[in-house]
Amino acid sequence: MSKKPNILLITSDQQHWNTIGAFNKELSTPNLDRLAREGTTFNRAYCPNPTCTPSRASIITGMYPSQHGAWTLGTKLLEDRHTVGEDFTEAGYRTALVGKAHFQPLKTTDEYPSLESYPLLQDLDFWRDFHGPFYGFEHVELTRPHTNEAHIGQHYAAWLEEKGCDNWRDYFLPPTGTMDKSITYKWPIPEKYHYNTWIAERTGDLLEQYKNEDESFFLWASFFDPHPEYLVPEPWDTMYDPDQLTIPSLVPGEHDRNPPHFAKTQEEHPEFSELKETGHGIHGYRSHHYYEYGDRFKLTEYDKKKLVAVYYGMISMMDKYIGQILDRLDALGLAEDTIIVFTTDHGHFFGQHGLQAKGGFHYEDLIKLPFIVRYPGSVPAGQQSEAIQSLVDLAPTFLSFTGIKAPPTMTGVDQKQVWLGQAEQARDHAICEFRHEPTTIHQKTYVDQRFKITVYYNQTYGELFDLLEDPNELNNLWDDPAHSERKQELLLKYIWAELGKEPMPMPRIWGA
């Protein structure tokens, strides 16, 4: 038996909160269902930012993006930021990350060098020799692609060559653009070479190493799916019949009371120049409705259904390999001593509110997360909780479970007593931030047990939703006179919540 509890963090990427089979019968996820049966599911978990780098940096720092500095995609989490891996290492834990990191941008500069950038990304000789340290992890095995996009390299590409897949470049879109963009939905890569297979295999091998060496560990298995592009190997691409699925869509009139850019996303030729926003790119406002896919400028009606089926297929395939990790943990006799958390970095739109992908819209679809905690004999099994969680809470809570004092720089909340079922809640709200310069898109959201309010930089419009009476967020109450007092109350709560995000100061030890 381990002297200290182990931590196994398993994350997906861009997974909608309602895509676990235990709670949505249109999907099959037997292994995530198993975690739900054997642990507690938290139905009110939130990301601190609905994009990858900021939220992932918050997981390891216990800080909000506006505090740790990696506030959007293309920014870098500076190496001088304190991370939870450093605390575990100092306490004698083994620390490792397998899969997606995305703490650094794809471009390197003299001022902000990046290990996750070109051309180093595809220098396999470098990656065969480099395994850390990296942001507090003594051992890392990394890569960057989402399905067949260009950013293949690092340890995953080296593993592909070790497995005899010398033509691995054929399955990805290299910078030369030789991959056929008309390939949609079915990814021709054999499943044995998929990064899910790599992550499960390497995670399992590390578990065995730690078991053999009788060492406690903090291990992050970081999956890439179901982040678009929507591609998955057969037979997963045809696992779900699009005509048998519930396909979310715009409710007529729902954007009438929303900020003006919401309705514009649904126009044929929207114009966002007043926001200094081109509308292009994965976070452009226009692209949330059109969503270029493959060689198509705009999704067809068939695409809108089929992409949901493939998105679900990606989740089900990932679930298979999560199951392999769980089975390996059981076979090694480590399950009883290991705290498992399954979650994602942020959510996803696949038709809800007429939107696709992710970006500057703080609907529950994008900022709420699947979130399951299992710790046999300690965390109640088969339970669901409405206690609010945030990804910034992971680091201080992991440390609390292992008896390590969290540093004062961590502004996340210790959720240990809540996870153990011994307290109803540890926080009464969550904060989500989004900022995407050089545009003027900049917003922050405060959400409590019932209400959600979103404010925009230098704007008088906003959003106010009653999540109890209006769980689908169709009726914006921001300008409703009957809710003016409620709006003022929530604005004051938001202001103090923002002020309270400051790291704890030094303790006062004398009167002067």
* Residues with Cβ within 8 Å of residue 75, at least 6 apart in sequence: 53, 54, 69, 105
Residue 179, pLDDT score? 56
Residue 358, pLDDT score? 87
- The boundaries of the domain holding residue 349 are 6-251+295-427
Residue 439, pLDDT score? 63
CB 195 within 8 A of CB 156: yes
What letter represents residue 432's amino acid?
Answer: C
Of all residues in the chain, what percent carry a pLDDT higher than 90? 77
Residue 250, pLDDT score? 95
Residue 274, pLDDT score? 74
CB 218 within 8 A of CB 7: yes
Q: Is a pLDDT exceeding 60 seen at residue 377?
A: yes
For residue 42, which phi and psi values (nearest 5 degrees)? -100, 115
Mean pLDDT of the 7-12 span = 98
Residue 272, pLDDT score? 74
Dist CA 427 CA 423 (whole Å): 11
Q: Render 386-428 in DSSP notation, one character per residue.
A: ---EEGGGHHHHHHHHTTPPPPTT--S---HHHHTTS-S-S-S
| C-alpha 189, offset from chain centre | 24
CB 51 within 8 A of CB 358: yes
Which tens digit of pLDDT belongs to each residue from 87-115? 999 999 999 999 999 999 989 999 999 99
Mean pLDDT of the 296-320 span = 94
Q: Identify which of 13, 10, 52, 33 has the alpha carbon closest to the alpha carbon of residue 226.
A: 13
CATH assignment at residue 217: 3.40.720.10
For residue 75, being part of any structural domain is answered with: yes
Q: Is a pLDDT exceeding 60 seen at residue 2?
A: no
Mean pLDDT of the 358-381 span = 96
Residue 177, pLDDT score? 45
Dist CA 54 CA 87 (whole Å): 21
- Residues, the chain: 512
For residue 231, being part of any structural domain is answered with: yes
Dist CA 218 CA 433 (whole Å): 27
CB 450 within 8 A of CB 388: no
Which tens digit of pLDDT belongs to each residue from 170-183? 888 655 445 567 78
For residue 215, being part of any structural domain is answered with: yes
Which tens digit of pLDDT belongs to each residue from 14-37? 999 999 999 999 999 999 999 999
CB 199 within 8 A of CB 222: yes
For residue 433, being part of any structural domain is answered with: no
Alpha helices in 74-224 (DSSP H): 84-90, 124-129, 154-162, 195-212
By DSSP bridging, strand 349-350 and strand 356-357 are antiparallel
Enter the pTM of the model. 0.96
Two structure tokens written together for 293: 């896919």
Mean pLDDT of the 112-124 span = 92
Least confident window among 50-64, 271-285, 388-402, 416-430: 271-285
For residue 440, being part of any structural domain is answered with: no
Q: Is a pLDDT exceeding 90 seen at residue 512?
A: no
Residue 278, pLDDT score? 57
For residue 438, being part of any structural domain is answered with: no
Tell me the average pLDDT of the chain.
Answer: 92
Residue 495, pLDDT score? 92
Other beta carbons within 10 Å of 380:
15
Two structure tokens written together for 7: 């931590």
Which tens digit of pLDDT belongs to each residue from 175-218? 544 556 778 899 999 999 999 999 999 999 999 999 999 999 99
Dist CA 285 CA 270 (whole Å): 9
Residue 511, pLDDT score? 74
Residue 261, pLDDT score? 87
Residue 1, pLDDT score? 40
Dist CA 475 CA 469 (whole Å): 10
Q: Mapping DSSP to helix (H, G, I), strand (E, B) and coil, where does residue 54 land?
A: helix
For residue 496, being part of any structural domain is answered with: no
For residue 19, being part of any structural domain is answered with: yes
CB 365 within 8 A of CB 347: yes
Maximal CA-CA distance, the chain: 71
What letter represents residue 450's amino acid?
Answer: R
Number of domains in the chain: 1
Q: How many CA atoms lie within 13 Å of 67's alpha carbon, on the beta-carbon side?
A: 28
